[in-house]
Structure 1
Amino acid sequence: MMVGTWRWSGRVTQHCPREGRSGISTQSSPPSPQPLWRQRNFAVFWTAQTLSVLGDSFALIALPLLVLQATGSLARMGLLTAVGGAASVVAGVFAGVVVDRVDRRRLLIGCDLVRMVLYGAIPLVWVFGPRIWLLYGVLPLCEAVGTFFAVGYVTVVRGLVATERLTEANGRLNATAAAAGVLGPVCAGLVAAWAGPASAVGVDAASFGVSAACLLLVRIRPRPADDRAGPTENRAARRAGLWRDLRAGVSFLYGHPVLRSLTALLFGFSFLTLGLTDLVIYHVKHDLGHDDGTVGTVMACGALGTIAGSLLVARIRRRFGFGWAWAGATAVCGLAFAGLGWTRDVAVVAGLSATFLGCVGIAGTCSMSLRQEVTPEPLLGRVTSAFWTLHYSAAPIGAAALTWSAERHGTAPVALVAGGLCVVIAAVALFTPVRRSGRPS
């Protein structure tokens, strides 16, 4: 169960010219009556993104297995994960600036090719014997490059589909990403068992090569040369320093009432929920006495919830509007979280996990779609990067606090308190501009 899904959807989404009273941009692309899967550019991009997530999922299993095979040390596995995570956070600070300055399609292709080469070096070197130092060099670089890919991916979607289809498109992308996130670790484990973890890393590298080849076939609508500023402003922006560029995304978030409120609300939500996966694993294994296979089943059920939420999100947002859809999904997340620590039935734990992640998928996809709709094109990368960095900044501390408290006081009371606070966050949202945004017609 990967709470991080929320991040890539919005682990899921200021002055804004041409926006209405709700804060939603009234500018839109011409409607496209074709189903998304029949729109060639989106369909090819959809395939490329699914393959990219599949590759990431292979690495999630194969690299720790390599460390375990070579050292037998759990601590060394944890250190590798920590190094990769730190590189991702640092890259996130600068990713938006880069994405907004370069050709985004070429950036995505370059990110896939770099990861193909870096991951591909591991099985080649492993032929001559384990080289643990290589993993500590490759993984941070790949995690950093993956962050650039993720920010670029968010900005590219708006150039592939009409504005009114963004929520539907993001839901489809998130659903298949969730499916790939389940299939990847399973396949990686099978390949590692059959041919060794290094071979699984090789398959990972190949998936990025195929993804890059798919992206070569995609045609993205060119960004307007001047959709928010005149030539003078554009030249001045190009001359602006790095610090000014870094502040641009934060300034837009602060100036847009809906995004400002959403960032603050998600700061609290991420703090409370990032450690949920660890809490569920601890509850299933230690409180309920089940084995690793049961833990895997519970996590698979959670992923199925993500797929269901991603497929339903467009319909839910059209029916209720952004504000009520986001607040309602967040409230249900809190209720599911509150019940996780109390139930003694593993089937109920699986159901609550699926409910939690399904609602994370709904709220996160709504969030990402909103940012794509209201953010001026030249700022989209920086706003996305700033949004993720700000609302995730305290999440690791929250995860440590949650798991420490659960170990000390038990999972039931900690889950109840954390889930209850998530419901409070949803209630607070109804007293902010979030509630008034995107009312259904």
Structure 2
Amino acid sequence: MRKGNRSGAAQAPDGGRPLWRQRDFAVFWGAQTLSVLGDSFALIALPLLVLEATGSVARMGLLTAVGGAAAVLAAVFAGTVVDRVDRRRLLVTCDLVRMALYGVIPLVWAFGPRIWLLYTVLPLCEAVGMFFAVGYVTVVRGLVGTGRLTEANGLLNATAAAAGVLGPLCAGLVAAWTGPAAAIAVDAASFAASAVCLRLVRLRARAGDDMPAPARGTVGQDLRTGVAFLRHHPLLRSLTVLLFGFSFLTFGLNDLVIYHLKHDLGHDDGAVGTVLGAGALGTIAGSLLVARIRRLFGFGAAWIGATALCGLACAGLGRADTVPAVAGLSAVFLAGVGVAGTCSMSLRQEVTPEHLLGRVTSAYWTLQYSAAPAGAALLTWAAERWGTAPAALTAGATCVLLALTALVTPVRRA
């Protein structure tokens, strides 16, 4: 018997009541919002710490790349762990570990900049965050049932983005008043609050929890199990390949926007927070509309159109010469990410058997993000060498080509 999850029907929990009135989903929803609120502080503060200490966008990109590489490596192991442990306990532990790690940064920074610390803490936090992310994906279906996954994911992403509106704005202001290190302290506190909320969530039994657990394989065997499922599912196979390219092209876009605002346009940290906060409004719009868009147009049209929109917005970011223009294009890009990302996540949750969901998610993200760290380093290096406009234009145009390529794959027919 697998242990730790509470009993209850996974197929249709709490009937047809609104999701916000379902206790466990509502508490889980609050925990995620708190966690993302804190993460949005780190999203601003860590690049600002590097830029403040070095003045180099390439060093910013390198930090992003190192963190991304750690997440990819952790994804190899995450599915194996998530499918075999108490998922709620795993989520709480991940939050507490990140609280401790991020809490070290402001304490050490009080005695002077230590760039090496960022290159140590961020990879560890990103690795732990990958375990959390895989566990998070597997938990949602048990909370709301298969039929409401797109709705639930849309709500979770929308409120996460709402926290992202407030978070970057506050982070930019805190960074401007007291320095970026203080913003990291807020991030640490948010993980503590999230852990408390998650302790109150009652997870329902997984499908198959009344059956003996499968024989434990090695990490390599578990990863191959997840990869094999993706390979034999035509739609997931196509999505994995397309998202591999998309992640490579756009993983470093946040660093590019910050560099463009501060270096090219000469704005301060407050403007950075304002732009990223305003851009997150796009994620809210996309996440709230995704269920309706998917019902009206189908998965294929929704995913392809949203990805093409991301490419067009990315292409224009480098040439935007005012804060409102950068904010507007960021909103468009993130709206596209909200629609495409929620669609692909929900589809994967819908079609994957429960006992494989952790391993398939792990394999999916390992493959999707395996080249993303190199892409972030390349994008920021290109921006420093040739300027943000050609770097953003190249990345955006290639994203549009990826969306057009999807027209000749099973994605279009989905």
Q: Tell me the distance in 2 between the aligned counterparts of 1:45 and 1:389.
A: 25
- 1:11-38 Cα offsets, whole Å, 9 max, x none, are xxxxxxxxxxxxxxxx953683222111
Considering only CA atoms, is the larger Rg found in Structure 1 or Structure 2?
1
Q: Tell me the distance in 1 between the aligned counterparts of 2:326 and 2:183.
A: 31
Q: Tell me the distance in 2 between the aligned counterparts of 1:415 and 1:346.
A: 16
Query: Offset at 1:244?
Result: 0.7
Q: Percent identity?
A: 74
Letter in 2 for 1:34: R
Correspondence for 1:266 among 243, 247, 251: 243
1:112 aligns with 2:95: yes
The 1:190–1:409 alpha-carbon spacing in structure 2 relative to 1, beyond 3 Å, is closer
The 1:60–1:328 alpha-carbon spacing in structure 2 relative to 1, beyond 3 Å, is closer
Q: Give the TM-score taking structure 1 as reference length.
A: 0.79
Matched positions, count? 401
Q: Equivalent residue for 1:24?
A: none
Q: Equivalent residue for 2:357?
A: 380
Query: Offset at 1:286?
Result: 5.8
Bigger drift between 108-117 and 42-51 goes to: 108-117
Q: Tell me the distance in 1 between the aligned counterparts of 2:189 and 2:279.
A: 28
Whether the aligned pair in 2 keeps the contact of 1:42 and 1:160 (CA below 8 Å) is yes
Q: Equivalent residue for 2:344?
A: 367
Letter in 1 for 2:157: N
Query: Offset at 1:56?
Result: 2.4
Q: Equivalent residue for 1:205?
A: 188
Structure 2 residue runs without a partner (length 5+): 1-9
Q: Equivalent residue for 1:22?
A: none
Q: Equivalent residue for 2:286?
A: 309
Q: Equivalent residue for 1:90?
A: 73
- 1:147-183 Cα offsets, whole Å, 9 max, x none, are 2111111111111102121111111111222222343
Q: Equivalent residue for 1:168?
A: 151
Q: Tell me the distance in 1 between the aligned counterparts of 2:119 and 2:129.
A: 16
Letter in 2 for 1:204: D
The 1:371–1:277 alpha-carbon spacing in structure 2 relative to 1, beyond 3 Å, is same
Correspondence for 1:291 among 256, 262, 267: 267
Letter in 1 for 2:339: I
Bigger drift between 141-150 and 185-194 goes to: 185-194
Correspondence for 1:99 among 82, 88, 92: 82
- 1:172-215 Cα offsets, whole Å, 9 max, x none, are 11122222234334434555666676655444333222211111
1:6-405 aligned at under 5 Å gives the runs: 29=12, 32-61=15-44, 72-73=53-54, 78=60, 83-120=66-103, 129=111, 132=114, 137-191=120-174, 200-225=183-208, 231=212, 234-235=213-214, 237-238=215-216, 240-284=217-261, 289-292=265-268, 293-342=270-319, 344=321, 346-405=323-382
SS at match of 2:206: coil
Query: Offset at 1:221?
Result: 1.3
- 1:76-114 Cα offsets, whole Å, 9 max, x none, are 975765554443232122111111111111110111222
Query: Offset at 1:432?
Result: 1.4
Whether the aligned pair in 2 keeps the contact of 1:87 and 1:141 (CA below 8 Å) is yes
Structure 1 residue runs without a partner (length 5+): 1-26
Q: Tell me the distance in 2 between the aligned counterparts of 1:199 and 1:414.
A: 32
SS at match of 1:29: coil
Whether the aligned pair in 2 keeps the contact of 1:31 and 1:162 (CA below 8 Å) is no
Whether the aligned pair in 1 keeps the contact of 2:231 and 2:237 (CA below 8 Å) is yes
Query: Offset at 1:242?
Result: 2.4
Whether the aligned pair in 1 keeps the contact of 2:47 and 2:255 (CA below 8 Å) is no
Query: Offset at 1:400?
Result: 3.8
Whether the aligned pair in 2 keeps the contact of 1:31 and 1:164 (CA below 8 Å) is no
The 1:165–1:395 alpha-carbon spacing in structure 2 relative to 1, beyond 3 Å, is same
Q: Tell me the distance in 2 between the aligned counterparts of 1:314 and 1:418.
A: 28
- 1:365-423 Cα offsets, whole Å, 9 max, x none, are 10101111111111111111211121222223333444444555555555444333322
Q: Tell me the distance in 1 between the aligned counterparts of 2:191 and 2:254.
A: 27
